[in-house]
């Protein structure tokens, strides 16, 4: 008992005023109210009966605010707020009737058990934060958050009580009368001054409660109220780690922020405070309160009887399914839900609802954890005898896959037929629910349509699918089977197209949300196929198993894998577009040739994306100036070569570099602009052969010599031929300090003719 005051009526007098209740014992008395454990004679059940100080109750202003704010509090249907069953005024006896929580308050827990571990304190504070944030959204500030108002049942579920009462009068007016409504040990500085009272006032108090949970002591444990008041106004809160060196210093920052003297320096919400706790995940969780029609009827009768017996104008809390629970159910089926017996409902769920919509009965199980939901869904799979990741429920039964098959996954869908009935079972991972419905086998389409409408399954083509189709330039496309998406990570869309090209039958394209997901998915495919490192077009058709990276003008664009699963398959990634392709064909050699020569998307599309993602984006101002010197006929799919490629061509020289091609004469052309002519000439001379000729009929096609522009020497030209017969050229322009390398051609005449007419000399 906090204090004993002589202005409260005795328990017998209270029972004469309120004959609907039998007082069992006094729980507490303060300057504000007297609280009793009572028995509701009408139902019967144990309740908490709170009778307000008659001096306050006689104040008209108090009475108006009490009625208004208790009405708001009664509407707070939240799993962490003690429900208000009734309230009223009988001949000046102003009272509240609240649920009785079988357990103790947080203060008692700390007194009996000592300071709490961080994990348990986080769970308790998180639930209190959820209750306070819900109240704040309704425009209500608690103003008396303290351990005594935080009730904990035997399952460690938390309820916040005494809602709205401390906000009835301002601190200033009540202090004038010699009364401070609230508890000084947890009160924010603005409660002692003319400061604005808002949700951050409760943040301060919750920070003080957190400190006490972790240390077992109040933040300012002074005996004199004036010392406590002074400390709240002027003294920084003590560090938790002074008493708990086992905790991380980050906890001190959380308490200091919560208990900042200036409200604008505190956490903006109580939920933000809870989320800031080291290692904590803030979630507003709680038990489900659902009632059948029989329950509702019984409670309505009991409530009517209570009004008649008490002779009061009471605010009765309507019994209904908790809105937070209904929010976990598909919106289209929320209108007609009632409690279902778990035995007849869904396995392992914390609660089950039976809902009706579109002529269908839907059972919805609500789960407290991801693991519980996963176990229930696995049980459904076993009962259906259906494997994961197969088929698509939109076109056949006996399938299981993620949904939706466009965008981020929301859950999983199972469809099957059993005992002359068609079943749909699906999960919602975010809401941690599992739902099921059944119909006649002839009504499978009807079930699918209803489910698609409830879950807002997108029609084809959705925006991500349209983007893929546009990128690959195909027209004859359809949505990929949902079951195929599960083999990949972070995939957001899949389409299957039938190209008109020779050598390929079908091509599936998959779009990913991240580069990491794309690369991991491809690596997983390589590991599953146990593919060695071999370039696919070079693999013999009989084996057709290998993988490698591929590039364009030295810049990596992705990786390619070839394997057989009945028929030959080429799978490749296009990293700049976060795209993967899977092509099938009857002939491995023709399929590999199609991939190397004709695959989509086009190189121009891929290189444009690669240039935009380069660091810095290509081209820079200097690179643009170099591109202006590249002949138009050779300015094809230009990009910035890699540092490794640049070093292989010009060693350690500092250059501006661009690469273009393929051109009419060379597969790839590298352009390097030097800072000075001397460095350029040294690099050229290091590769120039001794003697030889660059004529078409030369026996070795290995030579070096000057070339002219307008009868003046402009630079030097060298030619060479690799061991595989590939010819190449390199030439310089002394005036512009540019050196060029042209590679990948087999015919000398073609290369030289291209150089004379289209590629150079650069002017």
| C-beta of residue 219 within 8 angstroms of C-beta of residue 229 | no
Q: What is the pLDDT of residue 278?
A: 83
Cα dihedral 375→377→383→389 (10° resolution): -120
Fold (topology level) of 104-275? Transferase(Phosphotransferase); domain 1 (1.10.510)
How far is residue 763's CA from residue 761's CA, in Å, rounded to a whole number? 6
- For residue 759, give the DSSP letter: I
Residue 198 host element (H or E)? none
**DSSP states of 319-387:** P---HHHHTTS-GGGGGGEEEE-TTTS-TT-SEEEEEEETTEEEEEEE-SSHHHHHHHHHHHHHHHT--
Q: Give alpha helix (H) positions in 192-292.
A: 199-215, 225-234, 240-243, 250-258, 270-275
Backbone φ and ψ of 462, nearest 5° = -75, 170
Q: What is the pLDDT of residue 412?
A: 95
Backbone φ and ψ of 734, nearest 5° = -65, -40
Q: What is the pLDDT of residue 299?
A: 31
Q: What is the pLDDT of residue 742?
A: 95
User: Please, what's the b/e burial string for 511-542 (b: 16 or more CB within 10 A of its CB; e: otherwise)?
Assistant: bbbeeebbbebbeebbeebebeebebbebeee
How far is residue 693's CA from residue 330's CA, in Å, rounded to a whole number? 79
- For residue 276, give the DSSP letter: T
| C-beta of residue 436 within 8 angstroms of C-beta of residue 424 | yes
CATH superfamily of 1-100+288-321: Phosphorylase Kinase; domain 1 (3.30.200.20)
Distance set, CA 170 to CA 34, 53, 174, 675 (Å): 21, 16, 7, 76
User: Please, what's the b/e burial string for 664-683 (b: 16 or more CB within 10 A of its CB; e: otherwise)?
Assistant: bbbebbbbbbbeeeebbbeb
Distance set, CA 81 to CA 135, 161, 338 (Å): 9, 6, 22
Query: Average pLDDT for consecutive 10-residue bins of the chain (763 residues)?
Result: 54 89 86 85 84 75 71 75 84 86 88 91 93 88 91 85 53 37 83 84 96 95 84 92 90 96 94 84 37 34 31 32 77 78 57 81 87 89 90 88 91 91 93 90 83 86 94 92 89 93 92 94 94 92 93 95 95 97 95 90 94 96 96 94 96 96 93 97 91 82 89 92 88 95 91 86 61
Single out the residue of 267, 58, 257 nearest to residue 169, CA to CA.
58
| C-beta of residue 458 within 8 angstroms of C-beta of residue 476 | no
What are the E-state strand segments in 384-505? 399-403, 411-418, 421-428, 433-440, 477-479, 491-497
How far is residue 329's CA from residue 436's CA, in Å, rounded to a whole number? 12
Single out the residue of 462, 441, 454 nearest to residue 396, CA to CA.
441
Single out the residue of 184, 148, 191, 176 nearest to residue 29, CA to CA.
148
Alpha carbon 348 to chain centroid, angstroms: 26
| C-beta of residue 114 within 8 angstroms of C-beta of residue 217 | no
How far is residue 59's CA from residue 89's CA, in Å, rounded to a whole number? 13
How far is residue 42's CA from residue 314's CA, in Å, rounded to a whole number? 15
């Amino acid at each position: 008992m906090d204090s004993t005051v002589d202005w409260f009526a005795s328990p017998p007098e209270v029972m004469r005023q309120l004959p609907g209740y039998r007082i069992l014992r006094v729980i507490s008395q303060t300057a504000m109210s007297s609280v009793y454990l009572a028995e509701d004679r009408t139902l019967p059940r144990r309740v908490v009966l709170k009778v307000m100080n008659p001096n306050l109750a006689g104040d008209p202003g108090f009475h108006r605010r009490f009625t208004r704010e208790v009405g708001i509090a009664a509407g707070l249907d939240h799993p962490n707020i003690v429900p208000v069953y009734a309230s009223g005024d009988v001949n000046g006896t102003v009272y509240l009737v609240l649920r009785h929580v079988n357990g103790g308050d947080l203060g008692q827990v700390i007194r009996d058990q000592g300071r709490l571990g961080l994990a348990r304190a986080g769970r308790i504070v998180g639930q209190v934060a959820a209750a306070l944030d819900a109240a704040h959204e309704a425009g209500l500030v608690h103003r008396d958050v303290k351990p005594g108002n935080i009730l904990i049942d035997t399952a460690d579920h938390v309820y916040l009580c005494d809602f709205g009462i401390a906000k009835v009068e301002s601190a200033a007016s009540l202090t004038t009368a010699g009364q401070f409504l609230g508890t000084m040990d947890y009160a924010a500085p603005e409660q002692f001054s003319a400061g604005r009272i808002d949700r951050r006032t409760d943040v301060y108090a919750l920070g003080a409660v957190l400190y006490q949970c972790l240390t077992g002591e109040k933040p300012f444990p002074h005996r004199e109220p004036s010392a406590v008041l002074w400390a709240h106004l002027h003294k920084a809160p003590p560090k938790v780690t002074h008493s708990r060196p086992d905790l991380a210093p980050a906890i001190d920052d959380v308490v200091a922020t919560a208990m900042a003297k200036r409200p604008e320096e505190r956490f903006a919400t109580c939920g933000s405070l809870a989320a800031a706790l080291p290692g904590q995940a803030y979630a507003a969780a709680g038990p489900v309160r659902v009632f059948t029609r029989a329950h509702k009827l019984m409670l309505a009768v009991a409530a009517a009887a209570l009004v008649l017996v008490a002779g009061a104008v009471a605010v009765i809390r309507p019994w209904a399914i908790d809105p937070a629970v209904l929010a976990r159910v598909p919106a289209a089926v929320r209108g007609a839900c009632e409690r279902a017996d778990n035995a007849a409902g869904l396995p392992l769920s914390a609660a089950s609802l039976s809902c009706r919509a579109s002529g269908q009965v839907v059972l919805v199980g609500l789960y407290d954890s991801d693991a519980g939901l996963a176990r229930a869904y696995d049980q459904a799979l076993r009962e259906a005898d259906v494997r994961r990741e197969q088929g698509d429920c939109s076109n056949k039964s006996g399938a299981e896959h993620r949904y939706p098959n466009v965008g981020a996954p929301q859950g999983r869908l199972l469809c099957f037929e059993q005992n002359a009935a068609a079943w749909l079972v699906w999960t919602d991972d975010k809401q941690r629910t599992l739902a099921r419905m059944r119909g006649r086998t002839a009504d499978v389409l009807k079930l699918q349509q209803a489910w698609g409408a409830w879950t807002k399954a997108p029609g084809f083509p959705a925006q991500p699918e349209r983007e893929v189709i546009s990128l690959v330039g195909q027209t004859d496309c359809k949505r990929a089977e949902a079951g195929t998406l599960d083999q990949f990570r972070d995939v957001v869309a899949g389409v299957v197209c039938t190209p008109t090209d020779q050598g390929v039958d079908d091509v599936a394209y998959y779009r990913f949300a991240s580069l990491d997901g794309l690369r991991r998915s491809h690596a997983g495919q390589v590991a599953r196929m146990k593919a060695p490192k071999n370039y696919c077009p070079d693999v013999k058709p009989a084996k057709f198993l290998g993988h490698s990276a591929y590039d364009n003008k030295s810049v990596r664009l992705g990786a390619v894998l070839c394997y057989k699963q009945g028929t030959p398959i080429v799978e490749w990634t296009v990293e700049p577009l976060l795209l993967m392709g899977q092509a099938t064909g009857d002939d491995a050699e023709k399929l590999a040739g199609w991939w190397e020569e004709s695959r989509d998307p086009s190189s121009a599309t891929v290189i444009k994306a690669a240039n935009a993602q380069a660091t810095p984006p290509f081209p820079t101002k200097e690179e643009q100036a170099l591109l202006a010197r590249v002949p138009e006929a050779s300015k094809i799919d230009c990009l910035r070569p890699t540092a490794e490629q640049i070093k292989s061509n010009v060693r350690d020289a500092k250059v501006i570099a661009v690469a273009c091609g393929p051109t009419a004469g060379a597969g790839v052309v590298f352009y390097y602009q030097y800072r000075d002519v001397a460095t350029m000439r040294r690099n050229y001379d290091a590769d120039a052969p001794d003697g030889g000729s660059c004529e078409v009929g030369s026996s070795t096609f290995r030579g070096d010599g000057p070339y002219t522009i307008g009868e003046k020497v402009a630079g030097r030209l060298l030619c060479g031929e690799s061991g595989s017969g590939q010819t190449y050229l390199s030439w310089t322009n002394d005036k512009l300090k540019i050196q060029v390398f042209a590679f990948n051609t087999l015919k000398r005449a073609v290369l030289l003719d291209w150089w004379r007419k289209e590629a150079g000399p650069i002017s």
